[in-house]
């Protein structure tokens, strides 16, 4: 169970693994043979198991955590649901256009004067909450400038606002960032501030539990495809939701589109044969 030290190695291994994978044929979408699935898994770099991830998230020591792995594995769900020890929860998703002022706060006109309105980062600091930031790799330079001081250790984390108030986080304040990218894709100054780097590479078991058996196995197997073709649990849950109304073929088509849906239907049928 590694924290920080082996992560750069791990990320490199993950990239090498992706690069070394050959382009899949339609058959490789098939709820693959047991041996195919096993060999792909054997090549996978070690990742953290979900119980460990949830344990770290619940730890009072974990004030700045980065959770990374493929989309639809349950990173945001875990970040929002892991034991918060009574903390409030704030959950934001960044895009390159997210304005820093929206997160920090801004002056708003009220009557004849302007009053300060806290943004979500500052609100979370004041309340000693858990602040979940998704797609953190999209943070603009302006957002990073606000985020960096929040990720400092609790003794030094503080943020001076444009109204000249300096906010110190209340006890318990925790920042959990998620993204698909390995930590070595983050700006070094951001990466360096995380106390814990957690890697997941499989859907959370509770997410898989929500799928009926045939889809559950397919979901696991399609995770072994390269990232562009992997199908997240989110997609399989949508298929399951449509199934009663549209049947297997229709639900795959509705969720993944004509070509890909037909391909997956064929693969699923082959797997079931």
- Tell me which residues touch ligand ADP (CB under 6 A): 71-77, 178, 204, 206-207, 210, 233-234, 237
Rounded to whole angstroms, the maximal C-alpha distance in the chain is 73
Q: Which is nearer to ligand ADP, 104 or 204 (CB)?
A: 204
CB of 77 to ligand ADP, least distance (A): 3
In the bound complex, which residue of the shown chain has the CB atom lying closest to Mg ion? 76
Structure tokens at 16: 């090498």
With CB under 5 A as the rule, give the number of residues binding Mg ion: 2
CB of 109 to ligand ADP, least distance (A): 37
CB of 200 to Mg ion, least distance (A): 11
Q: Which is nearer to Mg ion, 205 or 247 (CB)?
A: 205
**CA 166/CA 158 separation, integer angstroms:** 7
CB of 252 to ligand ADP, least distance (A): 18
The shares of helix, strand and coil residues in the chain, as percent rounded to the nearest 5, are: 50, 15, 35
Structure tokens at 243: 């199934």
Q: Which is nearer to ligand ADP, 177 or 264 (CB)?
A: 177
- Please give the DSSP secondary-structure letter assigned to residue 235: H
**CA 63/CA 213 separation, integer angstroms:** 38
Q: Which does 73 bind (CB under 5 to 8 A by kind): ligand ADP, Mg ion, none?
A: ligand ADP
Question: Which among 70-78, 237-245, 246-254, 262-270 is the span making contact with Mg ion, rule CB under 5 A?
Answer: 70-78
**CA 3/CA 135 separation, integer angstroms:** 21
Q: Which is nearer to ligand ADP, 208 or 246 (CB)?
A: 208
Residue 123 CB burial class (10 angstroms; 0-12, 13-18, ≥19): middle
Which residue from 28, 30, 73, 76 is in contact with Mg ion, where contact means CB under 5 A? Answer: 76
CB of 118 to ligand ADP, least distance (A): 26
For 154, other C-beta atoms within 10 Å of its C-beta total: 16
Q: Any bridge partners for residue 199, and if so which?
A: 68
Alpha helices in the chain (DSSP H): 7-20, 34-43, 50-58, 75-81, 100-104, 120-127, 141-150, 188-191, 205-209, 213-222, 233-256, 258-272
Q: Which is nearer to Mg ion, 80 or 246 (CB)?
A: 80
Of residues 108-137, those binding Mg ion (CB under 5 A): 134
**CA 129/CA 84 separation, integer angstroms:** 8
Q: Which is nearer to ligand ADP, 234 or 260 (CB)?
A: 234
CB of 73 to ligand ADP, least distance (A): 4
Of residues 4-43, those binding Mg ion (CB under 5 A): none
Q: Phi-psi category of 129—alpha, beta or left, where left has phi over 0 and alpha has psi -120 to 50?
A: beta
CB of 233 to ligand ADP, least distance (A): 4
Q: Using CB under 5 A as the criterion, which residues of the chain lie in contact with Mg ion when the complex forms?
A: 76, 134
């Amino acid at each position: 169970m590694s924290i920080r030290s082996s992560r750069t190695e791990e990320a490199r291994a993950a990239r090498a693994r992706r690069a070394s994978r050959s382009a899949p044929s339609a058959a490789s979408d098939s709820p693959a043979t047991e041996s195919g699935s096993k060999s792909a898994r054997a090549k996978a770099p070690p990742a953290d198991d979900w119980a460990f991830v949830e344990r770290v998230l619940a730890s009072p020591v974990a004030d700045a955590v980065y959770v990374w792995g493929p989309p639809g594995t349950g990173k945001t769900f875990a970040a929002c649901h892991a034991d918060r020890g009574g903390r409030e929860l704030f959950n934001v998703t960044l895009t390159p256009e997210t304005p820093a002022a929206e997160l920090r706060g801004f002056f708003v006109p009220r009557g004849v004067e302007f009053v300060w309105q806290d943004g979500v980062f500052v609100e979370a600091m004041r309340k000693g909450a858990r602040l979940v930031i998704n797609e953190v790799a999209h943070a603009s330079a302006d957002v990073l400038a606000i985020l960096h001081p929040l990720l400092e250790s609790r003794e030094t984390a503080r943020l001076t606002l444009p109204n000249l108030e300096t906010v110190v986080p209340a006890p318990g304040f925790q920042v959990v960032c998620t993204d698909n990218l390995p930590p070595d894709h983050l700006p070094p100054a951001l990466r360096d501030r995380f106390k814990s780097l957690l890697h997941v590479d499989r859907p959370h078991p509770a997410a898989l539990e929500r799928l009926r058996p045939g889809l559950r196995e397919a979901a696991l197997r399609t995770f072994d495809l390269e990232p562009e073709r992997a199908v997240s649990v989110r997609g399989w849950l949508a298929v399951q939701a449509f199934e009663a109304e549209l049947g297997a073929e229709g639900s795959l088509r509705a969720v993944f589109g004509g070509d890909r849906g037909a391909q997956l239907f064929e693969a699923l049928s082959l797997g079931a044969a």
